[in-house]
Chains A and B, each alone.
Chain A
Amino acid sequence: MTDTIVELTDVSRTYNGASGTVALDQVTLAIARGEFTAVMGASGSGKSTLLNVVAGLDRPTSGRIVVDGQDLSRASESDLARYRRTRIGFVFQFFNLLPNLSVLDNVMVPAELAGMARADARTRGRQLLEELGIATVERSYPTNLSGGQRQRVAIARALINRPALVLADEPTGTLDSHAGEQVMELLDEINNRGQTIMLVTHDVNLATSHGRRILTLSDGAMVDDTAIEARRGAKPADLVRLRAGEA
Chain B
Amino acid sequence: MSLRFGILGLLADEPLHGYEVKQRFENMLGGTWDVNIGSVYQMLQRLERDGLVEPLGERGERGKQPYKVTEAGTSALAEWLEEQESQPQLLREDIYVKLLLLARHTDGAAPRLLNRQRRVYLQRLRDLADQEKAAREQGRLELALLFKGGRLHAEADLKWLDAAVDALEDK
Contacts and interface: CB of A to CB of B under 8 A. Distances in A.
B146 to A, nearest CB: 7
9 contacts: A204-B125, A207-B122, A208-B126, A228-B123, A236-B147, A239-B128, A244-B1, A244-B2, A247-B3
Interface of A: 204-205, 207-209, 214, 223-224, 226, 228-232, 234-237, 239-247
A232 B150 CA distance: 17
A230 B146 CA distance: 19
A111 to B, nearest CB: 35
Contacts, number: 86
Main secondary structure of the interface of B (DSSP, over half): helix
B153 to A, nearest CB: 8
A207 B4 CA distance: 38
A209 B127 CA distance: 8
A242 B33 contact: yes
A236 B124 CA distance: 11
B1 A247 contact: yes
Interface stretch (B24-32, B57-65, B75-83, B98-106): B24-32
Contact of A239 (B29, B39, B131): B131
A214 B122 contact: yes
Interface in B115-159: 115, 118-119, 122-131, 146-147, 149-151, 155, 158
Contacts of A236: 29-32, 131, 147
Contacts of B90: 244
A208 B130 CA distance: 10
A226 B119 contact: yes
A208 B31 CA distance: 22
A245 B122 contact: no
Nearest to B135: A236
Given A224-B119, A247-B4, A240 B32 contact: yes
Contacts of A245: 1-3
A76 B125 CA distance: 43
Contact of A209 (B30, B129, B150): B129
Interface string B16-58: 0000000000000111111000010000000000000000000
Given A224-B118, A234-B127, A204 B32 contact: no
Contacts of B146: 240
B131 A208 contact: no
